[in-house]
Amino acid sequence: MNARSNRLEALAYGFAFFASVLGFASIAASQICLGAAVALWLAARKRFEMPPLKGPLLLFMGWTIIAAIVSVDHFAALPQIKKMLGFAMLPVIYTLFRTTSAARRLMEAWFAIGFITVSVSFVQFYLKWRESIARDEPFLLGYLGDRITGLMSHWMTFSETTLLILVVLGSYVLFRDRDRRDGALWSLLTVWLAAGIVLSWTRSAWIAMAGVGAYLVWFWKPRLLWLAPIALMGLPFVVSQEVTTRVDSRVIMWRTGVRMIQDHPWFGVGPERVGPTFMDYLPPDVPKELPVAYYAHLHNTFVHYAAERGLPIVLALLWLFGKVLWDMSRALRRLPPGPSDERFLLHAAITATIALLIVGMSNVSMGDSEVLDAWLGVVAVGYRAAIGNNCQS
């Protein structure tokens, strides 16, 4: 019985490993592996453990179900109900990756898949550049509507998942128990991933890179922050007419979302109902001929979820993100000085959360399964590092 149980546990660990890594290439393959990991672990008659996030997660999932029930279109909410199964990534990774060495191997596999997806994106960028030359048109004219995606289906998913890999790698390079033999390799990979994000032309990811970079430098060598004003020299490069148009469209979306919240403060207009009802809530002073943009969601995590599911959802999200940042920060303060895998994993959970919050200001990042699963994975190993060092709050 013990031998059978050990085999099932080992298989569950392997499927959990691939569930996390394959999320950066195929969400379907990742979910299949995740389901297999759950089934094998239960077959071994083992129980899943959960980090101390039950409160905000139960509020988020429970209120989503209530909003779906209250909605005038229950069936439209089914994709969002199904998507909540992805939250299983948190207890699965937390339960099966119990040591910092196991968590470190998982994160190093993330770095490898990050290298692959960015390498693919470089090839895509080159081909798109050659196409623009063949068409004899300005490169950005066609590129902004059809950007690099790496192994993903959309450039936003590519840029945000690569951003999460990058911030974890940055924490790894600066704070892990160092091995000088491979330091240069990981540093070069950091530049490689950052270049992929720059070429994705996703300004929210650029801003998140800058914000997380400032955080990492502050905890590594704070004196280097005096170089920060140099980054402002690139601001004219970021700001353009295209950015102005996007800001205009975002303001329209957010104002429309506020009107939805005013009419439905408790349960919203219903999951997956923001797009179909958007024009019904358009402010009266906004022309019907809208700026060119994607209006199926509100391009802000908090505004969108509040409009879709009600204001209690915002409370759940603030509670969730705030608790992760609070717990990881307290754990860091209790660590002994010096680099360690625990320090790297705790900083990784913080930087991933900061990155998700920043990109969430202009996109509904949590609605993207690949992004959500990656964030849940790094939060899980962060909590395991905290508990392994008796640093949990």
3-state secondary structure the chain: CHHHHHHHHHHHHHHHHHHHHHCCCCHHHHHHHHHHHHHHHHHCCCCCCCCCCHHHHHHHHHHHHHHHHHCCCCHHHHHHHHHHHHHHHHHHHHHHCCCHHHHHHHHHHHHHHHHHHHHHHHHHHHHHHHHHHHHCCCHHHHHCCCCCCCCCCCHHHHHHHHHHHHHHHHHHHHHCCCCCCCHHHHHHHHHHHHHHHHHCCCHHHHHHHHHHHHHHHHHHCHHHHHHHHHHHHHHHHHCCHHHHHHHHHHHHHHHHHHHHHHHCCCCCCCCCCHHHHHHHHCCCCCCCCCCCCCCCCCCCHHHHHHHHHCHHHHHHHHHHHHHHHHHHHHHHHHCCCCCCHHHHHHHHHHHHHHHHHHHCCCCCHHHCHHHHHHHHHHHHHHHHHHHHCCCCC
Res. 243: pLDDT tops 50 = yes
Residue 1 is predicted with a pLDDT of: 53
Ordered by start, the domain boundaries in the chain are 1-47, 51-241+301-388
Interval 251-276 mean pLDDT: 97
Model confidence at 388: pLDDT above 90: no
What's the confidence (pLDDT) of residue 224?
A: 81
Is 24 a residue whose pLDDT tops 60? yes
Average pLDDT, rounded, for the chain: 92
- Read off the pTM: 0.94
Q: What is the pLDDT of residue 126?
A: 97
pLDDT tens profile 85-136: 999 999 999 999 999 999 999 999 999 999 999 999 999 999 999 999 999 9
Per mean pLDDT, which range of 45-59, 219-233, 247-261 is the poorest?
Answer: 219-233
Q: Which residue has the higher pLDDT, 179 or 124?
A: 124
Residue 245 pLDDT: 58
Assign 233 a pLDDT band (cuts: 50, 70, 90): low
Q: Which of 20-29, 237-246, 272-281, 326-335 has the lowest mean pLDDT?
A: 237-246
Give tens-digit pLDDT for 124-172. 999 999 999 999 999 988 898 899 999 999 999 999 999 999 999 999 9
